[in-house]
């Protein structure tokens, strides 16, 4: 029965590309309009068919992780690209539409992100071993969207260019106090303190990142300029000349967006500048992927620009500049995935094959939502005063300088 139902669902859903499905009984059928991309998926477990009908996104991800679903010709990326394009075209099955809408309505419950749950959620993802992340990231451990100012840039150069771009938007002067909300492994804090002579307070909820960032600060001899704290941003009470937050807003959750920007406004001095770098949606608000929420980023949420504007407006902060980096994160994620795949022997020494398939699915899904759906990266420059930053963007455009900085 479930094979018949799944067949009917696929005939209505797969309207673009070419997807060949081999069912557990050996029957094979082809769906789509006979165009590219093309992929062949084999279902090995009869029980998976019912799950694909009831919750296709979750079942597809879990089936791939567990090996009860395999992808042959075309590969995982082609299969997922077909599904994502079909979903974007409006052919999403009714049951999936209902589940997506329910996820959207349940955001206040699913994304509460209290101080306690926020620590637990961060640990789930960021307290994996440093050795694992080093296999995938650049040497500075930048786990956020790079800035490919030129198409020939390496990942290392693009991550260096990202830090240069952020530093310029912060309009730094020596001696300023900078708050880095979600400082990760400390790379940006080290760069700002070393290259711009500022005092940096970094906040993280990851014990692993706190330990590594603190060690890096000590090794760099910058303990007099950088203070890395294991602290929630809601617990900080001081004020700062500059605030930077890179890749942190995605972990706040929709119910906490107002709290987050209220704290940014309270912690920023009257003449200060804040730079918020975050994944965002170039479209209306929606629910979070249930698969990503369960396996990768519990409590996470990618806000739309529409959802950001209202809480910022309530604080009275000015949008001094808004930039959309668009495809830069797709390029970054492709570089990470290439390194992940090239180091599979070392990854396999740390984790099992199910983990490997989970991360491959995660990285591929993220690449495709930037290439095919409405996700982008926003850089929001904020200030209490409308003249807190230069009145034109000329100060961001110094030809050649970024190339030299990135190559060093």
Domain 2-105 matching CATH 2.60.40: the answer reads no
- Residue whose structure tokens are 């390194």: 339
Q: Reply yes or no on whether 183 is catalytic.
A: no
pTM of the entire predicted model = 0.91
The burial of 397, by beta-carbon neighbours within 10 Å (0-12 exposed, 13-18 middle, 19 or more buried), is given as exposed
| Helix H or strand E encompassing 30 | strand 28-32
For domain 115-407, give the CATH superfamily: Vaccinia Virus protein VP39 (3.40.50.150)
Reported as type and span, the H/E element at residue 356 is: helix 353-372
Given a cut of 50, whether residue 403 has pLDDT beyond it is no
- Annotated catalytic residue: which of 171, 183, 366, 397? 366
Ordered by start, the domain boundaries in the chain are 2-105, 115-407
**Mean pLDDT for the stretch of residues 333-357:** 97
Residue 10 φ/ψ, nearest 5 degrees: -65, -35
Q: Which residue has the higher pLDDT, 178 or 122?
A: 178
pLDDT for the residue 102: 62
Q: Do domains 2-105 and 115-407 have the same CATH topology?
A: no
Q: What is the average pLDDT across 219-223? A: 98
- Taking only the tens place, the pLDDT of each residue in 284-311 is 888 788 899 889 988 788 999 999 999 9
Q: Average pLDDT, whole number, for the chain? A: 91
User: Is 276 within 8 Å of 249 (Cβ atoms)?
Assistant: yes
Q: From residue 154, give the alpha-carbon distance in Å to each of 71, 107, 137, 334, 403.
A: 30, 38, 12, 12, 11
Residue-wise pLDDT for 70-125, tens only, equals 998 779 999 999 999 998 876 666 666 666 666 666 566 665 666 666 667 666 67
| DSSP codes of every residue in 117-175 | HHHHHHHHHHTS-HHHHHHHS-TT---S----SSTT--HHHHHHHHHHHHHHHHT--TT
272: left (phi over 0), alpha (psi -120 to 50) or beta: beta
Task: List, for residues 72-84, the tens digit of each pLDDT value.
Answer: 877 999 999 999 9
Contact 332, 146 (CB under 8 A): yes
Residue 401 has pLDDT above 60, yes or no: no
CA angle 194-195-199, nearest 5°? 55
Euclidean distance between CA atoms 152 and 138, whole angstroms:
16
């Amino acid at each position: 029965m479930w094979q018949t139902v799944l067949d009917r669902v696929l005939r209505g859903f797969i309207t673009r590309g070419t997807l060949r499905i081999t069912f557990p009984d050996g029957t094979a059928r082809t769906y789509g309009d006979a165009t590219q991309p093309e992929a062949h998926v084999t279902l090995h477990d009869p029980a998976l068919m019912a799950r694909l009908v009831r919750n296709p996104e979750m079942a597809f991800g879990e089936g791939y992780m567990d090996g009860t679903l395999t992808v042959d010709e075309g590969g995982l990326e082609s299969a997922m690209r077909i599904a994502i394009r079909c979903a974007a075209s409006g052919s999403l099955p009714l049951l999936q539409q209902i589940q997506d809408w329910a996820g959207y309505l349940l955001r206040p419950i699913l994304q509460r992100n209290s101080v306690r749950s926020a620590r637990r959620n961060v640990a789930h993802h960021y307290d994996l071993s440093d050795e694992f992340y080093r296999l995938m990231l650049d040497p500075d451990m930048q786990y956020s969207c790079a800035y490919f100012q030129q198409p020939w840039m390496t990942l290392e150069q693009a991550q260096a260019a990202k830090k240069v771009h952020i530093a310029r938007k912060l309009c730094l002067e020596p001696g300023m106090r900078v708050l880095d909300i979600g400082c990760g492994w400390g790379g940006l804090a080290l760069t700002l303190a070393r290259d711009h002579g500022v005092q940096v307070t970094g906040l993280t909820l990851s014990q692993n990142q706190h330990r590594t960032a603190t060690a890096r600060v000590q090794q760099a001899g910058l303990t007099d300029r950088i203070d890395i704290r294991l602290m929630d941003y809601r617990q900080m009470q001081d004020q700062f000349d500059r605030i930077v937050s890179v890749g942190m807003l995605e972990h706040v959750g929709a119910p906490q967006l107002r709290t987050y920007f209220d704290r940014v406004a309270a912690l920023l001095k009257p003449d200060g500048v804040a730079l918020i770098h975050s994944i965002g949606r170039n479209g209306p608000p929606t629910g979070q992927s249930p698969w990503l929420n369960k396996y990768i980023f519990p409590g996470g949420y990618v806000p739309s620009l529409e959802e950001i504007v209202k809480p910022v407006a309530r604080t009275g902060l000015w949008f001094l500049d808004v930039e959309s980096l668009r495809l830069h994160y797709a390029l970054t994620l492709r570089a990470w995935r290439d390194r992940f795949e090239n180091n599979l022997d070392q990854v396999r020494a740390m984790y099992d094959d199910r983990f490997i398939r989970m991360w491959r699915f995660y990285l591929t899904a993220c690449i495709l939502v930037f290439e095919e759906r409405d996700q982008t990266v926003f850089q929001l420059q904020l200030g209490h005063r409308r003249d807190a930053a230069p009145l034109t963007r000329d100060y961001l455009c110094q030809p050649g300088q970024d190339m030299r900085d990135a190559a060093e």
